[in-house]
Amino acid sequence: MTVPPTTAPTEPTSAPGTTGRGSEQTMHVEDRPAVATPAAEKSIRVTVNGTVHERTVSVRRSLVEFLREDLGLTGTHVGCEHGVCGACTVLMDGEPIRACLMFAVQADGAEFTTVEGLAEGDRLHPIQQAFWDHHGLQCGFCTPGILLTTYDFLRDNRGADEAEIREAVSGNLCRCTGYQGIVRSVQAADETWER
């Protein structure tokens, strides 16, 4: 999938013989460089949820595609592909990042935690448990990103008030809950997570 433009679409040319997608600038075929074959590949080695993976990936494969399609970790979701919604948030070397905004090859040597790495066997992580107990999710699509954002926030903060929690999760969009259940869940996890 391509990264969509983040600005208003450019007005199309009106000359006959042009082509283009809805919001991309059109151009004459002869002006365009030949389509690159996606041959360029590179080997990478990453650690995800404690497991080491060595793979050869196309250089244009995004990190989130790599996690989802090459490693089968489909708990990380793709919501916008332009770094705004936060659904693809994972921890890279302990810090939350947007997996849609970097290429897999840029992740060579890094260590990741995804939502699949939170629970210990049958036991949900205290953050997951709090979200279950306090109705912190509805459709669940944004949830993995919010759990990892919360993990990062609570790891470094204790006793945050509601305003601080709202600030902490403000980089993750949720269209279902209105955030009230998310805030309650983070508050609860702050108390139950022994860290």
Partner 1 sequence: MGVQTIGANVKRLEDPRLLRGEAAYVDDIQVPGLRHMAVLRSPHAHARVLSVDVGAARALPGVDDAFSAADLGAQPPAIPALFAMDTFHPAPQYPLATDTVRFVGEPVAVVVAESRHVAEDALELIEVEYEPLEAVVDAYAAIQPGAPVLHANAPDNVAARQVYQTGDVDAAFAAADRVIRERLDMQRYTGIPMETRGVVASRDAVTGELTVWNSTQWPHTVRTILAGMLAMPARAIRVITPDIGGGFGVKADFNSEDFLVPFAAVRTGKPVKWIEDRNEHFLSIAHSREQIHEVEIALRDDGTILGLRARHITDCGAYQRPLGVINASLSATSLGGVYRVPNYRVEAVCASTNKAPASPYRGAGAPESTFARERLLDIVARELGIDRAELRRRNLLTPEELPFDTGLASAEAAVVLDSGDFPAGLDKALEMIDYAGFPARQRAARDEGRLVGLGICVYHQITGPGPFEGGSVRVDPTGEVTVVSGAAPMGQGTATMLAQIAADELQVPYDSIKLVFGDTGRLPFGMGTYASRNAVMAGTALVLAARKVRDKAEELAAHLLEADPADLVLEDGAFSVKGVPASSVSWAQVAAAASPGGSRPAGMEPDLESVQYFENLAAPYSYGIHIAEVEVDPHTGYTTVGRYVVVNDAGTIVNPRNAEGQIVGGVAQGLGGALMEELVYGEDGQPQSTSFMDYLIPGSLDVPDVEIGHLESKSPLNPLGVKGMGEGGAIGAHSAVANAVADAIEHLGVTVTRTPLKPAAVWQLLRSAGASA
Residues numbered 98 to 117 that lie near partner 1 (CB under 8 A) are 114-116
Residues 59-78 interacting with partner 1 (rule: CB under 8 A): 60, 68, 73-78
The rounded distance, in Å, linking the Cα atoms of 99 and 87 is 9
Containing H/E element for 91? strand 89-92
Cβ at position 43, least distance to partner 1 in Å? 19
Pick between residue 84 and residue 102 the one whose CB is nearest to partner 1. Answer: 84
26 binding partner 1? (CB under 8 A):
yes
Containing H/E element for 55? strand 51-58
Q: Work out whether strand 95-98 and strand 111-113 pair parallel, antiparallel, or are unpaired.
A: unpaired
Cβ at position 128, least distance to partner 1 in Å? 4
Pick between residue 44 and residue 90 the one whose CB is nearest to partner 1. Answer: 90
Question: Which of 24-47 are b and which e, b meaning 16 or more Cβ less than 10 Å from the residue's Cβ?
Answer: eeeeeeeeeeeeeeeeeeeebebe
37 binding partner 1? (CB under 8 A):
yes
Sign of CA dihedral 106, 152, 76, 9: negative
Query: What does DSSP assign to residue 100?
Result: T
Residues 125-154 interacting with partner 1 (rule: CB under 8 A): 128, 131-133, 135, 137-144, 147
Cβ at position 34, least distance to partner 1 in Å? 10
Structure tokens at 29: 């075929």
Cβ at position 112, least distance to partner 1 in Å? 13
Binding residue (CB under 8 A) for partner 1 from 63, 81, 113, 154: 81
96 binding partner 1? (CB under 8 A):
no
Structure tokens at 68: 């989802």
Pick between residue 58 and residue 109 the one whose CB is nearest to partner 1. Answer: 58
Cβ at position 195, least distance to partner 1 in Å? 18
182 binding partner 1? (CB under 8 A):
yes
Helices (H), the chain: 63-65, 126-133, 143-156, 162-168, 180-192
